[in-house]
Structure 1
């Protein structure tokens, strides 16, 4: 497995960007200089994250999300966190 996180990753198994191996390793996401724990999907090159909105669910039982643009940093949690 490579030492760089993928450019785009989703936590939903229905997405083509889902990667179970990477998610098991652990991913840290910093969005707009703040570490986020509610990110459902991200894209580094396009500069956006999809974050869960509260505890609300859609009709399929998945978290409702909102897409927000801005600078995105991603790292593997088994490595040191970037400064």
Structure 2
């Protein structure tokens, strides 16, 4: 008996788009890239993996994270920039 169902395998590195220098999780941002977010992304900031990064820029060396529970007048979380060494990678 043969199994005709296809199994979903992890995408190979050749199928993944290159990680951009500047990336944002906000769909309204010009730095948003939906193709990149189809895969799991990791951010290492100063040799520590971070899970709360909303935006990063590798060449300028910063990440943007939410500043607690504070919101701006449009209801979006306030962000703060942290400077340091930034590495982005696929998990």
Question: In structure 1, what is the equivalent of residue 74 of structure 2?
Answer: 60
Give the alignment partner of residue 41 of structure 2, picking from 20, 24, 27.
27
How many residues are aligned here?
77
Mind listing any 5+ residue stretches in structure 1 that lack a counterpart? 78-83
Post-superposition offset of 1:7: 0.8
Give SS of 2:28's match: coil
Post-superposition offset of 1:2: 4.5
For residues 17-72 of structure 1, the C-alpha deviation after alignment (integer angstroms, 9 at most, x for no partner) is 00112112121001111111111100001111111112222221221100111100
Question: How big is the alpha-carbon RMSD for the aligned residues of Structure 1 and Structure 2?
Answer: 1.4
Highest Rg: 1 or 2?
2
Q: Which residues of 2 match residues 39-54 of structure 1 at below 5 A?
A: 39-54=53-68
Q: 8 Å contact 2:21–2:57 — kept in the other structure?
A: yes
Q: Name whichever structure is richer in strand by fraction.
A: 1
Instruction: Flag the structure with more relative contact order, 1 or 2, with Cα contacts below 8 A and sequence separation at least 6.
Output: 1
Mind listing any 5+ residue stretches in structure 2 that lack a counterpart? 1-14
